[in-house]
Structure 1
């Protein structure tokens, strides 16, 4: 009985750990590039393979509207943290701040928003 209880607790805690592990944005930059912006994001996530990995990140305006999305096509199990960029992002004139939010393939978990100041 105790063995079954311990096994049940182990299974439940493993599931909770997977759900509670969203990607973390370690760094992000935005720089003007031609008519648009080049956004570069460094993510950290406990990718385990195709069943659980950071699968993208989005650029949001201050109202939470999606401006752009960068799909990540494969896991980065042995490359942590990793950096990917998105060129030619068209950010509306007058926008002073944007937010980046990373996504996870499990339960569509999301990172905390990462704020970037564009007013420099």
Structure 2
């Protein structure tokens, strides 16, 4: 089963250096997330993203091991994400090594 995220965000303040989830694709247990962030190098870069259920429980975290200064936006995947049966949506948030987790959640509707 393949899901494509609508470009909807929950209302939250936006900070200039916060990583932004641009798109999410879910195919089976594999989640692919496209992020953008003004990476400057090892001193400031997007270093991860997380999939959450509707109750805020973590379903999986993808660590990003290096900056993507010349690759913006970029997409990385995580396999083995178990979405609970009956879930109608999941959320993705991003993290950077300076500001931590973003307060902005990207909602992915699982309805067909």
Q: Which bin holds the TM-score, normalised by the shorter protein?
A: 0.7 to 0.9
Q: Give 1:72's match in structure 2, choosing from 48, 64, 70.
A: 64
With a CA cutoff of 8 Å and minimum separation of 6, indicate the structure with the bigger relative contact order: 2
**1:1-120 maps to which residues of 2 (within 5 A)?**
20-32=16-28, 37-110=29-102, 112-120=104-112
The number of equivalent residue pairs is 98
Deviation track 1:29-55 (CA, whole Å, cap 9, x = no partner) reads 1121xxxx1101000000001110000
Where does structure 1 differ by over 3 angstroms across 4 or more consecutive aligned residues?
A: none
Tell whether the 8 Å contact from 1:52 to 1:104 is kept in structure 2 after alignment: yes
RMSD across aligned positions (CA)? 1.3
Q: Per the alignment, do residues 94 and 58 of structure 1 end up closer, same or farther by CA in structure 2, a change over 3 Å counting? A: same
Tell whether the 8 Å contact from 1:24 to 1:111 is kept in structure 2 after alignment: no
Which of the two has higher C-alpha Rg? 1
Alpha-carbon distance between aligned partners in 2 of 1:20 and 1:110, rounded to the nearest angstrom? 11
Unaligned runs of 5+ in 1: 1-18
